[in-house]
Amino acid sequence: MKDEHKTSLRQVKTYSIVTLILIIIGSGVSYWTAGRIDFYTKEVMHTSDVLQRTDELYASILERETNIRGYVISGNEDFLTYYQQSNIDADLLLNELQALTEDNAQQQNNIEELRGLIQSRVRTFDASIAHMKEHGDISGFLDPNVVDNALHGYLLIKAAIIRINDVENALFIDRNQGLINNINALPFIVGLISIFSITIGLVTFFSIYQYNKAQQVANREISRYQQKLRDQIQLLDDSNKELEQFAYVASHDLQEPLRKITAFSDLLNEQYADKLKGDGSIYLNRITAAAVRMRLLITDLLEYSRAGKIDSENIKYVKLTRVINEMLEDFEIAIKEKSAKITLGKLPKVEGSETEYRQVFQNLISNSLKFSKPESIPEITIKSEPAAPELVAKFSTLDPSQKYHLIKLSDNGIGFDQQYADRIFSIFQRLHGKKDFEGTGIGLSITRKIIEKYGGVIFAESSAGKGATFNILLPVLKQT
């Protein structure tokens, strides 16, 4: 089921990506085709402009021919005015044609040739006008050669214009065909991309349907497992409560015989100490010491079983500086005995129980004093700083989006090998013998339970003979 779920989700993602790629390609091709259509449209319009200017130029040339004939025949100088205007129009049209065809070397040559023919023709007309004005007619100006040259010049101008039109007509046909091809291709391309997109979209829809179906089955399985987990948690809670009750009752039941053992041991020691022979006194002292240790162990077990329990009524904002200062007053004698130096930096306000935080730092400071170097004055420093996100990310139980305080308690004691950094927080775990250092090995276990209860973690850093540092990460209050 899990593999099918992953496959279905992977198919949905794959088809969705393919559909998106097709849409992007289709859009790109459509945009490119639309650009080509725009390009060819402009080129066709450009060619049309050239042909229109050529037609206007040819009309201007014909008008000039007509005006010069009218003047020669009638002698009316109004024809000369029109003749001069037609010359101006022809020059303007030639310049426009030259500008429009500046990217076509062939057309530039044709236009230059046409310009030369027109100028030659104009010189002949100007000579005719001058002769007409001087003699009143052109009978003496005309001869067979002049007539032949005039006809030949006109035919050359006409042929040049036809060549220009032929080039532009060929361009018009080619560009118009390109325009038609792109216009015809656009619906085909869009249609093809649409068919592919619709097909992939339908497949994607089917995959989503399959995925949703598998998701529903998976959700039912998850709900079933969740209910099973809730049932198991309930059973575990019931079992824990029974164990707590059993531990409480058992510890109280054990306390009574221990008190009797201690009491009778004290009586034997007081009344019969002088009558005990051999190792009897030693054995009696050992019985008493074992009973005292057993009572201490039971007391610590009771504290451990109670530690870490959520009691919302006792949870409040706690000023660690005040809690630790009050706790140090109780440690005044032990601190003076070892001439210990304790430096307390600025500490934050956190959420929790004053009693439990007092117990935390009492255990830590007691350990630092207990495991101090005999030849050195114990130095203990407690300070706080913001925890780096990289440090928070190392602990799966912490929320990466939450800010944390990093509270460091450092000492210059005997330290321990870093490989035992986790072991020291386990219940009944000791790194030193009972004869070397007293204690039951439960204090740090209680400390860890309390810190974890309030959403934090505690870990130790040390090396043998170089002191130890206990690091506590606690959440920053949202409103301080």
| 196 & 344 share domain | no
- Confidence (pLDDT) at 437: 46
Assess if residue 204 is contained within a domain.
yes
DSSP for residue 352: E
Question: Residue 403: pLDDT band by 50, 70, 90 thresholds?
Answer: very high
| 247: alpha, beta or left? (left if phi > 0; alpha if psi -120 to 50) | alpha
Q: Which of 153, 184, 210 is the last residue before a domain boundary?
A: 210
User: Is residue 462 within 8 Å of residue 418, measured between CB atoms?
Assistant: yes
How many whole angstroms separate alpha carbon 218 and alpha carbon 464? 52
Between residues 245 and 384, the one the model is more confident about: 384
Mean of pLDDT values over 38-56: 83
Average pLDDT on 441-460 reads 86
326, pLDDT greater than 80 = yes
192 and 326 together in one domain = no
Q: Which of 172, 195, 210 is the last residue of a domain?
A: 210
The helix/strand/coil state of 362 is: helix
Same domain as 62, residue 194: yes
Structural domain of residue 28, as residue ranges? 2-210
> What digits encode the pLDDT tens for the residues 198-240?
776 676 677 677 667 777 777 888 888 888 888 787 877 666 6
Residues 131 and 16 in one domain: yes
Give yes or no for residue 433 having a pLDDT over 50: no
- DSSP strand pairing (379-386 vs 341-344): parallel
Q: Return the CATH number at 416.
A: 3.30.565.10
Which tokens sit at 366?
């007691």
Work out the average pLDDT over 85-112: 85
184 and 319 fall within a common domain = no
pLDDT the model gives residue 445 = 84
- The confidence score (pLDDT) of residue 432 equals 47
* Alpha-carbon torsion angle 277, 278, 281, 284, nearest 10: -100
Q: Is residue 226 part of a domain?
A: no
CA proximity to 218, closest of 441, 477, 9: 9
| Cα distances (angstroms) measured from residue 205 to each of 1, 6, 9, 212, 381 | 20, 16, 12, 10, 64
Q: Is residue 65 located within the same domain as residue 196? A: yes
Q: Check pLDDT > 80 for residue 332.
A: yes
Helix segments in 273-314, DSSP class H: 280-306
pLDDT at position 142, please?
Answer: 57
Query: Domain for residue 297, yes or no?
Result: no
Q: pTM of the predicted model, to two decimals? A: 0.46
Q: Are residues 40 and 171 in the same domain?
A: yes
Rounded-to-integer distance, Cα 434 and Cα 83, Å: 132
Residue 119 domain-assigned (yes or no):
yes
In the beta sheet, which residues pair with residue 386?
A: 405
Same domain, 173 and 34: yes
Confidence of residue 436 (pLDDT cuts 50, 70, 90): very low
Q: Is 391 helix (H, G, I), strand (E, B) or coil?
A: helix
Question: Is there a domain that residue 272 lies in?
Answer: no
Number of domains in the chain: 2
**Pick from 144, 177, 210: which residue ends a domain?**
210
Q: Are residues 204 and 324 in the same domain?
A: no
Please report whether residue 300 resides in a domain: no
Backbone torsions φ then ψ of 118, nearest 5 degrees = -65, -45
Structural domain includes residue 237: no
Based on the domain organization, do 71 and 186 belong to the same domain? yes
- Residue 378: its H or E element: none
Arithmetic mean of pLDDT, 33-41: 80
Give the pLDDT score at 223: 83
pLDDT top residue among 371 and 137: 371
Does any domain span residue 225? no
Same domain, 197 and 331: no
Element (H, E) at 382: strand 379-386
